Amino acid sequence: MEPSGSTTSNHTLNSTGGGCPWEVSDKARLCRFLCYGSEGDVYTAREEGRVSMENVGALLSMLQEGRGAEVVEDIRRFSQDGRAVRPGPCFFALALCSQHSELKTRQAALKALKEVCRDPTHLFSFIQYKKELKDGMKCGIWGRALRKAVSDWYNEQDAMSLAAAVTKCKQREGWSHQDLLRLSHTKPAKDAIALISKYITKGWKEVQVAYADKENSDEVVKVLSYLEVVEKVKHSCDETEVISLIEEHKLEREQLLTDHLKSKQVWRALLKEMPLHSVLKILGKMTSNKVLEPGSSETQLVCERIQSETVLKKAKLHPFSILLASEHYKRGQGYQGKPKWEPDGSILKAMDSAFYKSFMNVEPVGKRFVVAVDVSTSLSSVVPGTSISTAVAAAAITMIFARTEADTHVLAYSEGAVVPCSVSADMTLAEATVELVKIPSGSTDCSLPITWATESGKSVDVFIVLTNNPLWTFTASPLESLKKHRQASGANSKLVMCGLTSIGHAIADTEDRGLLSVCGFDLGALSVIRNLAQDLI
């Protein structure tokens, strides 16, 4: 998506008041990295590349300036507040800080370990990043400070939560709990943690022998009973017993054997308490395997859960996430062609209902938005990596802002003209889609929405331009148009160019902090836009 019009020198784009507000500072670059793994102004949907030292120039610069505590605090905030679209960059950054030459930075990083690495998969990733950062150096990673931090991570967990965690996730990234407990020389701080530690390092048989004749506390008895259930299900070939244990103790599929998962009845038992986001991912597979059959009580129960406001609120599912799952289920087959299924009408109806109900989970940003849809080309393409058409994606995005942000203008533009759209909060997705695609197509000019707002005297905080045109033209540079809007309105206006079918190009090479390109589209793109609107990246 490289623009075919003229561009402006990077140094002239940092507008309003001499340019300082729009400079891409090291702090901004760090926050971009923590958010989506790159210091640049391009977010590429579904890109899960492993982060490396090439991505952390700003972070290293801040550490050299003695700003280590500030960096660690940003890592903690992005991780805890759900600002990070991808978790890996935060773990990598924390690992880098934890072995910085400055003592205070190292101490701050390891102190934040439990808050940033909240479950075993996070902890394993952090340890692996530390190992990779130390490769080629003579010293190892297991100094006294890391041993204490890892020991504290285990000792400060709730015993029952830890028992569930270590039985669901035993190893990742080449590391296991046994490795970490051994290398950290962990000394359990209480009896229940000592029990879990023995279970991890010595196994269930030794635990049985050690605790058989002891007078145990209530907490230890509770953990022992839970571990006994986990061991029992692992050695059971009785389908009825396995189902009973799943239902009584809320066991999850990670705690079962592969052979157990060949049973339809076992899957039906798992579905009753399975987290809703996991249910949505496997609806196709469950329909294909006849675990969910038309009219069955299991299908009815799943439909009730999918559209339950209480369940949706607890799961914090975003409307766009539900839409992606719904469109994939409607497709009737996996991305590799297998498995295949006949979509169930009642499930599709439940997901449609859930889509609208889940708008309650979207917290307003409270900014003034213009969402402009480029209709210069057909919106019949498919967003890469999804089953959703660009028309439906564009309609859904406009609806999300129209329904959740009080000050939102929806526009369509084409053939040198901008047309305000009647996409409103009470529209269905189908109605919004029809509204967008009925406008005649023509040439693309992505500066038109900004010019429209400036000439109409409207102050806009964030312009979101949606297009699937791989080549943009414009009468004036969007950057210059944005600059003029800032000067005319006094607003700290930002521009997000979303290339719905793009696979990795940007609007321009710019050092203006108020510009961002999104290539493709996914749920993470909405988080990135939200962060930009709030001046967090």
Higher pLDDT, 13 or 72: 72
- For residue 216, pLDDT over 90 is answered with no
- For residue 375, pLDDT over 60 is answered with yes
Please say whether the beta carbons of 283 and 329 come within 8 A: yes
The whole-number pLDDT of residue 6 equals 34
Span 280-289, mean pLDDT? 94
The whole-number pLDDT of residue 508 equals 58
The whole-number pLDDT of residue 5 equals 37
Span 199-204, mean pLDDT? 95
- The band of 379, judged by pLDDT with boundaries at 50, 70 and 90, is low
Higher pLDDT, 172 or 507: 172
The whole-number pLDDT of residue 350 equals 96
Higher pLDDT, 191 or 3: 191
Higher pLDDT, 13 or 324: 324
The mean of the pLDDT values for the chain is: 87
**Locus of tokens 């102050």:** 459
Using alpha carbons, list the distances in angstroms from residue 234 to 190, 212, 243, 253: 27, 21, 12, 11
Tokens of 453: 């707002």
Span 132-160, mean pLDDT? 88
Which region among 189-203, 423-437, 478-492 has the lowest average model confidence (pLDDT)?
423-437
Distance CA 78, CA 87 (A): 9
Higher pLDDT, 139 or 371: 371
pLDDT tens track for 84-94: 999 999 999 99
- For residue 176, pLDDT over 50 is answered with yes
Distance CA 226, CA 229 (A): 5
Tokens of 251: 């066991």
- Dihedral of CA 312/314/315/316: which sign? positive
* Nearest one of 425, 502, 534 to 43, comparing CA atoms: 502
Higher pLDDT, 10 or 396: 396
Tokens of 507: 């609007």
Please say whether the beta carbons of 43 and 519 come within 8 A: yes
The whole-number pLDDT of residue 9 equals 32
pLDDT tens track for 244-258: 999 999 999 999 999
- The band of 45, judged by pLDDT with boundaries at 50, 70 and 90, is confident
The whole-number pLDDT of residue 16 equals 34
Q: What percent of the chain has pLDDT over 70?
A: 89
- For residue 307, pLDDT over 60 is answered with yes
* Nearest one of 130, 183, 128 to 154, comparing CA atoms: 183
Spatial neighbors of 512 by CB under 8 A, at least 6 apart, are 10, 13, 14, 15, 22, 24, 479, 482
Distance CA 106, CA 96 (A): 9
- The band of 19, judged by pLDDT with boundaries at 50, 70 and 90, is very low
Please say whether the beta carbons of 7 and 476 come within 8 A: no
Q: What percent of the chain has pLDDT over 90?
A: 65
Higher pLDDT, 128 or 382: 128
Distance CA 533, CA 491 (A): 12
Please say whether the beta carbons of 106 and 97 come within 8 A: yes
Distance CA 78, CA 59 (A): 14
The whole-number pLDDT of residue 473 equals 55
The whole-number pLDDT of residue 212 equals 84
- Residue 4 burial (CB < 10 Å; 0-12/13-18/19+)? exposed
Phi-psi region of 203 (alpha: psi -120 to 50; beta: other; left: phi over 0): left
**What secondary structure does DSSP assign to 73-112, as a single string?**
HHHHHHHHTT--SSSHHHHHHHHHHHT-SSHHHHHHHHHT
Helices (H), 203-318: 204-211, 218-234, 239-249, 264-273, 276-288, 297-306, 309-315
Distance CA 9, CA 481 (A): 14
pLDDT tens track for 434-476: 877 766 655 667 788 898 899 999 999 999 998 876 555 556 6
- Model-level pTM? 0.88
The whole-number pLDDT of residue 418 equals 79
- For residue 10, pLDDT over 60 is answered with no
CA dihedral 276, 278, 280, 284 (to 10 degrees): -140
The whole-number pLDDT of residue 478 equals 81
- For residue 330, pLDDT over 60 is answered with yes
- Dihedral of CA 270/274/280/281: which sign? negative
Please say whether the beta carbons of 113 and 155 come within 8 A: no
The whole-number pLDDT of residue 157 equals 94
